[in-house]
Amino acid sequence: MTTDPHPHAPSSVPSGDGDGDGEPNPLRALTLDRLRRRTSMKWRTYPEDVLPLWVAEMDVPLAPAVRRALDEALDLGDTGYPAGTGYAEALAAFAGKRWGWDGLAVERAAIVPDVMLGVVEMLRLVTGPGDPVVVNPPVYPPFYLFVTHMDRRVVEAPLGPDLRLDLDALERAFQRAVRDGGRAAYLLCSPHNPTGTVHSAAELTAVAALAERYGVRVVADEIHAPLVAHGTDFVPYLRVPGAERGLSLMSASKGWNLAGLKAALAVAGPGAAADLARMPEEVGHGPSHLGVIAHTAALREGTPWLDALLTGLDDNRRLLAALLAERLPAVRYRPGPATYLAWLDCRALGLGDDPAEVFLERGRVALSAGPPFGTGGAGHVRLNLATTPDVLTEAVGRMAAAVG
């Protein structure tokens, strides 16, 4: 296995259960038996003998702050329609403290049902039927599904060999996108799913300059923004110079495992405020009131829990790298400092375009297949490492046995 270690991670695999400040590691809190009692997609799609390390759900308990807020709402019967700007205010405060970004203006934010439905609404504001949308494969498969289902066409600008943005490829894609006229958009995944890459301020500034040069509107999916390792800076797209006409989708969903509590925020740069104002009122009726309550509590009071989670994810990245080196040395893994997803290059194993099928059938481990991630996905799998160390260890053992 070839690895590029996390630049801020110690070389040894730690055995501690907390983050050093008294908050326990959420990834060590639940047993496999307890996890199997869950009824969500992750735990009900496959038979019980399969270890599910595929869909983006974490094997963690609710953060205490979120649990308290939901308990209070349920005690009050507070299960009506969402109202107010509390979610946006909480995100603005979190962004200021966490990312040094004081530019998130509450008056330029609007609640949407979730990030992908928010992406669809933003793309509808800045493109029309048949218009091109640029993406960076390998990338989150719903980018392809949602874009094509809304009658737009995908233009690919693949990541470079280092799994970072290839600005030359991006410029060529912008040129192709605007060649036939119409309106073009760029759906930016930041941090990047599935690679865990965190785009730098310089890269994002270059993106903004290219977008302005070619008249391409940027819509940034920043759902994984809270899940950036300590020591690595996440830069919101709307914070960089030249991004004033950009649109962003943000949420506490991934950081605090709230996918079933639907809520997200669409945020506009100063030059896109008029676009956001054109969003149909009924879009804001889709979020769950309990979702808004949960996300607001997470952003306001859930940072200690998040910090403990980030420490646990770093532990699991190092554990996964060590396990692969020992049991599956032909697999190439380049740990990224963001998300809880691992992009594994399995081409040297000779398992064809879809190694996930082999690992499921022979090893009873469910992973995300690589081909739906677009160009660069064949021969790869995406592994969700936000699970217990025991489950992660058992999964790699099964994967090794499947090809042994």
One digit per residue, the tens of pLDDT, for the chain of length 404 reads 444 333 333 323 333 344 445 689 999 999 999 999 999 999 999 999 999 999 999 999 999 999 999 999 999 999 999 999 999 999 999 999 999 999 999 999 999 999 999 999 999 999 999 999 999 999 999 999 999 999 999 999 999 999 999 999 999 999 999 997 889 999 999 999 999 999 999 999 999 999 999 999 999 999 999 999 999 999 999 999 999 999 999 999 999 999 999 999 999 999 999 999 999 999 999 999 999 999 999 999 999 999 999 999 999 999 999 999 999 999 999 999 999 999 999 999 999 999 999 999 999 999 999 999 999 999 999 999 999 999 999 999 999 999 98
Domain 68-301 in this protein, CATH class: alpha beta
Q: How many whole angstroms separate alpha carbon 244 and alpha carbon 240?
A: 8
Q: How many CA atoms lie within 13 A of 321 on its CB side?
A: 20
Beta strands in 278-340 (DSSP E): 332-333
Q: How many whole angstroms separate alpha carbon 69 and alpha carbon 269?
A: 31
Query: Where in the chain is CATH 3.40.640.10?
Result: 68-301
Count of other CB atoms within 10 angstroms of residue 311: 23
The CA-atom distances, in angstroms, between 128 and each of 122, 154, 247, 275 are 11, 13, 16, 14
Q: Under CATH, what is the fold of the domain 26-63+303-403?
A: Aspartate Aminotransferase, domain 1 (3.90.1150)
Which candidate, 397, 256, 260, 259, places its Cα nearest to that of 327? Answer: 397
Q: Whole-model pTM?
A: 0.94
Q: How many whole angstroms separate alpha carbon 130 and alpha carbon 224?
A: 29
Query: Where in the chain is CATH 3.90.1150.10?
Result: 26-63+303-403
Q: How many whole angstroms separate alpha carbon 306 and alpha carbon 7?
A: 20
